[in-house]
Amino acid sequence: MSIIAVGSVKASPGVTTLSVGLAMSWAPATGRRAVLIEADGDGGVLAARFGLASAPSLLELSATARHELTIDRLHANCQMLAGQLPTLVAPGCGETTTVVLTPLAGQLAEGLGQLGDTDAVVDVGRVRPRSPAGELVKRCDLLLLVARPRFDQLVPLVHQARRMIAHDIPTVLVCVGDRPYSPTDMAKASQLSLLGVTAYEPRMAQALERGLPGNQHHRRLLLWRTLTELVRRIQFRLPAETSGREAA
């Protein structure tokens, strides 16, 4: 029942890739179920990237919006990404996604918060004022702002981090790569705590497209260890009542 939103402030630092990796690592690391929601107002890429169908998607889910969002209704509109991860894809067209998502985001946030032992990793795309995924960002349990540690990403990161803090949205930073700036300096400048750093490694993106390796040897790879560690840190930051952890 936790909502973990993942978004960027500029360029394409790897939000979708990280969202897929976190959602795939979620169940093995936490013992809880995960669903991946693509709520990027610029349009979806998951269907094309992972060879899924264009429907069902957010569009089909929105057609039943007058009903409460139950786990069955959500699953009826999900597809299995890499054969293992229930995924609600966004239409490839940004305009369609924006039209569908703007009125649906609040209901999605409400429904996702009630899903028992299923947590949602939500790719909210670019985080900005009046984003169609705004209600999901506002009501998430944790927002991961993803950035490359570069000057062109630092200024918008500082600006958006200030906005998130002002709106009391629990927000942390994930850096993709560790140069030219240090991720610690990015965190200090934005006043966010640094959840972690993922390698800037094209093989990482490619590996994710083949799904989560079942075999122990592959699970020891740095990529999976990094994702598992990030999931654990996320879970640690979630409110105990929504994370499945025992309350202290």
Ligand X SMILES: Nc1ncnc2c1ncn2[C@@H]1O[C@H](COP(=O)(O)OP(=O)(O)OP(=O)(O)O)[C@@H](O)[C@H]1O
With CB cut-offs between 5 and 8 Å by kind, which of ligand X, Mg ion, none does residue 202 bind? ligand X
Q: Is 88 in the site for Mg ion (CB under 5 A)?
A: no
Q: Which of 24, 16, 32 is nearest to 235 (CA)?
A: 32
Q: Is 15 in the site for ligand X (CB under 6 A)?
A: yes
Name the segment binding ligand X (CB under 6 A); options: 82-90, 97-105, 193-201, 210-218: 193-201
Name the segment binding ligand X (CB under 6 A); options: 12-20, 130-138, 157-165, 227-235: 12-20
Stretch 18-77 residues interacting with ligand X (CB under 6 A): 40
**Nearer Cβ to Mg ion (15/144):** 15
Residue of minimal CB distance from Mg ion? 16
Among residues 204, 207, 230, 238, the one that binds ligand X under rule CB under 6 A: 204
Q: Is 16 in the site for Mg ion (CB under 5 A)?
A: yes
Are β-strands 85-88 and 79-81 bridged in parallel, bridged antiparallel, or unpaired? antiparallel
Among residues 1, 6, 9, 15, the one that binds Mg ion under rule CB under 5 A: 15
**Nearer Cβ to Mg ion (40/135):** 40
Q: Which of 171, 222, 228 is nearest to 200 (CA)?
A: 222
Stretch 127-166 residues interacting with ligand X (CB under 6 A): none
Q: Is 77 in the site for Mg ion (CB under 5 A)?
A: no
Shortest distance, position 106 Cβ to ligand X, whole Å = 22
- Two structure tokens written together for 173: 């930073």
DSSP state, residue 247: P
**Nearer Cβ to ligand X (115/208):** 208
Q: Which of 19, 212, 3 is nearest to 108 (CA)?
A: 3
DSSP state, residue 87: E
Residues with Cβ within 8 Å of 63's Cβ and at least 6 positions away in sequence, in order, are none
With CB cut-offs between 5 and 8 Å by kind, which of ligand X, Mg ion, none does residue 13 bind? ligand X
Q: How far is CA 212 from CA 87, 92, 124, 143, 144, in A?
A: 15, 24, 22, 23, 21
Q: How far is CA 70 from CA 65, 105, 133, in A?
A: 11, 15, 20
Interacting residues toward Mg ion by CB under 5 A: 15-16
